Amino acid sequence: MAEVTGPDALRATLPASDESAPVVRPVLSGYDLGVLIGRGGMGEVTAAHDAKIGRQVAIKRMRGVSTNAATSERFLREAKIQARLEHPAIIPVHDLGVDDNGQPYFTMKRLSGKTLAELLPNHPSRQRLLRAFADVCSAVAFAHEHGVVHCDLKPANIMLGDFNEVYVIDWGLALVMHGGDVGLGLDTLDRETRAGELIGTPGYMAPEQVREADEIGPPADVYALGTILFELLANGALHPSGVAGLASTLELVDGSPAARNPGGSVPPELDALCAIALRSEPSERPTAREMAERVERYLDGDRDHEQRRQLAATWLASAQRALQSDDVGGRGEAMRFAGRALALDPESGVAAELVTRLMLEPPKRLPLALQQELAATEAATQRRQSKIATASFAAVAVFLVLACVGGVRSLSVFIAIAALTLVLAGMAFRFSRRVATRSQMLFLALGNVTLAAFLSRAFGSLILAPAVTCVMAVSLTSYPQLIARARLVVAMLVASWLTPLLLEQLGVLESTWRIEGGQVISSSRLMVLGSSSPILLVAFNVLTIVVIAWFSSALARSRRDAQHEVEIQAWHLRQLLPKAPS
């Protein structure tokens, strides 16, 4: 006959057949007895108050009024084993003795919580259950190292306290191996007294327990731990209960929770741990300590570390191949692949070096997406510079009006210069709102060159023209579309200033300047000079200085902001990435 251990001895409900049985209340000096908590095979547990110390305890005593030495010793061996296995996950025993009715008893810590069997149907957090399971494995490993095999591990014998405490309970069927160090006199009470008994609970017993093998040791508990882990991961028991569970245990049942629960997202390393713990051959199973360590490694985030490193190496090789390819998009792929490699293996110095190099070193050929982003940045720069240029042309137009208040020598020249200035101001305003093509920007540059030549002729080549030409040079060479053609733009502007001078020297045009008596005399072919002319000249030169400074400051700010952005990104990247190997 199989010994029936029943539910948790501290939380068991009363069997129906025993509900009407008379309860003989023991008399225990120093304890105030309370309600009956539960009743097991040969004992019952009562809540009590320890009057001597003032704490709440649970008292377990033999059922019935008549006992013999063998049954008493068998009852007390549970207390002796439990008391000498001092582990946080094993209930401490406080006292051991005989009550006034001659019945043996022992007191232990009173627990508050639920058994794993009660929690599982409610599908609690897997992480919480796995942490509790790791604690159970550690407690069982502790018992094994002290020569004790529990022999009846199951969800009903695992208690989860209200404050995350974890306990392995009900050591009544524990087997003390020869050489165990829990105490003298215990290792002789097992095999002789258990002959012909099937020890354990069907569905959680190891195959060697079902076969009633002579040697039952720690691997039997490991098998039971495997069935519990299977139940946590698969949301269902590995074997059925009762007699069917005994037959199922002796069959070659697939011990993979993932195969039983395909949609349950079973971690592969825990699936493999279940499979090895549930092997039929005891010698092929891991130890309870190894099970605890493997579950803790998973919970600590070190799951399949070697597998991630191998996968990282694969992504890194793909990144290097993509970088060496002639495909323009290869650099983007290389960056994505290297980033995945670094995410999988954050300690990879090679992946860190590659990601850093790809982010900080410009590519030889720009991918299309990057070209589009750069184009957007250049468009913003063009709009910003065009706003300044619009204001500059407007200032020139105002100056023309003020300069000619005293009189105009050539109305046609005045109208031509004013019209060209307004046209260029309109173009600059238009380019401040939309992106200009390179040809449009060249046309704008040509208009500036023409205006510079007209101003040189109108006001004199040595007075206003050089300053205006400098303003135009600073403005035009700052446009992104003309940066690559800066030499052409400068050459055109220089030519616009030199051409009138050359034509004047050749006699084609009337000269606007001469040297007499050691003095340079300049004249205007557009306006009539009067008393207000010096003020206008000073104002125009001040305006020129301000405009050039405005352009230069805007360019300096743009370069500074861009450089700061790059440096800030590079600094953050260096903090994020591990140092590359030297």
Q: Which are the catalytic amino acids?
A: 152
Q: How far apart are the first and last CA of the chain?
A: 71
Question: Rounded to whole angstroms, how far apart are CA atoms 577 and 158?
Answer: 44
92: which residues sit within 8 A by CB, 6+ positions away?
83, 86, 108, 109
Task: Return the closest-CA partner of residue 139 out of 78, 205, 85, 81.
Answer: 85
Question: CA-based angle 345:348:354, to the nearest 5?
Answer: 115
Q: How many CA atoms lie within 13 A of 183 on its CB side?
A: 15
Kindly give, in sequence order, each residue whose CB lies less than 8 Å from that of residue 496, ignoring residues fewer than 6 positions away.
Answer: 449, 450, 452, 453, 456, 469
Residues 248, 145: Cα–Cα separation, whole Å: 30
Sheet hosting strand 158-161, strand order edge to edge? 113-115, 158-161, 166-168
Which of 411, 481, 496 is CA-nearest to residue 451?
496
| Nearest of 221, 228, 210, 209 to residue 274 by alpha carbon | 228
CA distance 577 to 570: 10
Check: CB of residue 224 under 8 Å from CB of residue 205: yes
User: Rounded to the nearest 5 degrees, what angle is found at the Cα of 349, between the Cα atoms of 346 and 352?
Assistant: 70
Q: Exposure pattern of 228-252 as b/e (b: 16+ CB <10 Å)?
A: bbbbbbbeebbbeeeeebbebbeee
Q: What is the DSSP letter of 205?
A: S
**Is 150:218 a contact under the CB 8 Å cutoff?**
no
